[in-house]
Amino acid sequence: MTQSTDLHDLTVAELASALRDRKVSAVETAQHFLARAQSHADLGAFLDTNSDVTLRQARTADERLAAGTAGVLEGVPMAHKDIFVTRDFATTAGSRMLDGYHSPFDATVVSRLADTGVVTLGKLNCDEFAMGSANENSAFGPVKNPWDITRTPGGSSGGSAAAVAARLAPAATGTDTGGSIRQPASFCGITGIKPTYGRASRYGMVAFASSLDQAGVLARSAQDCALVLSSMCGPDPERDSTSLDVPAEDFTRTLAEPIKGLRIGVPAEFFGEGLAPDVRAAVDAALKEYEALGARLVPISLPRTELSIPVYYIIAPAEASSNLSRFDGVKFGHRAKDFKDLNDMYEQTRAEGFGDEVKRRIMIGTYVLSHGYYDAYYLQAQKIRRMIADDFQQAFQQCDVIAGPVAPTVAWALGGHGNDPLADYLADIFTLPASLAGLPGMSLPVGFGAGNLPVGLQLIGNHLSESRLLNVAHRFQQATDWHIRRPQGI
C-alpha cells in the first residue's frame, strides 16, 4: 500500500498505475488531496470544494476499479479552473457577477475527463473572466506563488498553476487566451500546454474572447499533460461551432521518439531588448541541452512580434465586450438591489458586478467596435493578425518547432505592477503571437532566475502538432530534473 503521505509526490501516470494495481484507493487519494488543499488554503488557489461530491465520485471510481471497468484516469484527482461550468461546484469565473452561480450542466472538458474516471477536487481561482496576467484581478483575492508567497503565480490560470506546483492536485485544467496557461506554468515551475485552437471544446467555458480562448492542462510533466490532454480533446460539433473536426488522439504514443535531427527555430525577436538576463541564461542553457540531445538550432524571424500586443488588446477586448453583454442582471448572476428603472438596473448591476480590469476591457472593446473606429482599429488588427499567422507559416518552412522564453522576467511581486495595466500587457509579448495564430504552445521548466524563481521555456508548434511538442518536452525532461523540483516547504 502506498503511504498516504507520499501520494502528492506521485505524478498523474504514477497515481493512475497505483490505483489500477489497487495499491491505493480512490477514496484515500481524494481524502489526502482534500486535506492538502485545506492545509494550504493560504495560497488562495481553491475557490470551491465539496468533500461530499468528491468522495462520492471517488467511491464510484473504486467500484469501477474493482469491477475492471475503469477508465484510463480512474480515481485520479484533478481540479478545474473556475472558468469551466460545473453542476456540483459553484462557477464564478473569479467575478462577483457570478458569485454562487451553479450551472445546470458540465463543460465538455469537465464531462470528458469525468468519463475517463477523473475525480474532481474543486474549482480553482483565476483572474476575473480570465482577464489578467497575475491572478490579482480575482474578486475573491489573489493567488500566491508557492515558490515565494510574495510573488504572483501568473495569470489568468494562476490558481491552477499554484495548485499543481504546491502538490494540491496532480493536474489541473486551465484556459489560454493570450498565454494564460503558459505564463503561470513558467512562473510556478510546472508544465502546461495550450493545444491548437479548436482541439478542445469550448462548450461550457465562460467566454472571454471567443476566437482565442482554448482549454488546456497544467501538470508536473509532459507525460502527465499528454495523458490528460488525450482525454480532453476531440470534436464537439453539436455544441461548439469552433470545435475542429479532428479525431481524439493518444498524445502519449510518440512521447519517447528520438529528437535527433529536430530543427528548433529560435526567433531573434524573442531575444532582444527587454528580456531579463537571468531568463535568457536559463533559456540558452535549455537550448544547449537540446543540441546535446541531437537537435539543431535554426535562426528564424517573427517580424511582427511587437505588433501582437496592440493587435491582441484590440481583438480580445472587442470580443469580451460582446461576450460579457449577457451579464446584465436579468436572467442569472448578480443583480443590483437598488435601481430606478431597467436601464439603471443594467448600469448598477454591471458597476457592482465587474472589477476594474473587466470594465477597462469592455470599454476598450466597445470603443474599437463603435461606428467610425471599427475600420481604423478592429479591422486593421484582424489584418495584422493574419500577417502574424503567415509569419509563423514562413518560419515553419525552416524548422519543426519554435523555442524561446515564455515571459521576459520571472514572477514579479504581488502588486508590483500597481495600477499600471500596460505593464501586465507587455509581459505577454512572447505568448500572444501563437495565440493570435491559433497555434499549440507549451511551457516547461528549464531553470531558475532571480530570487530562485522558476523560468520556463516556450515551445510552439504548427497546427495540430501537440504530439510533437509533447515529445520534444518529454525528451528534455528525461535528460533533466527541473520538472521534479518543488517549492521549499511544500
Active site residues: 81, 156, 180
Cα 61–chain centre separation:
26
End-to-end CA distance of the chain: 23
What phi and psi, each to the nearest 5 degrees, are found at residue 214?
Answer: -150, 135
Which set of grid coordinates corresponds to residue 259? Answer: 529528437
Q: Distance between CA atoms of 34 and 57, rounded to whole angstroms?
A: 13
What phi and psi, each to the nearest 5 degrees, are found at residue 140?
Answer: -110, 20
Q: Distance between CA atoms of 193 and 444, rounded to whole angstroms?
A: 9
Question: Strands, E, within 168-247: which ranges?
Answer: 171-176, 191-194, 214-219
β-pairing verdict for 441-448 and 454-460: antiparallel
Nearest to 401 by CA among 306, 474, 295, 479: 295
Please give the helix or strand (H or E) that residue 56 lies within, else none: helix 51-67
| 3-state SS assignment for residue 176 | strand
Residues 6+ apart with CB under 8 A from 177: 130, 156, 208, 209, 212, 213, 214, 316, 435
Looking at the DSSP bridge assignments, the partners of residue 405 are: 457
User: Per the omega criterion (within 30 degrees of 0), is the bond before 156 cis?
Assistant: yes
Which amino acid belongs to residue 349?
T
β-pairing verdict for 214-219 and 171-176: antiparallel
Q: Distance between CA atoms of 195 and 103, rounded to whole angstroms?
A: 26
Beta carbons within 10 angstroms of residue 322's beta carbon: 16
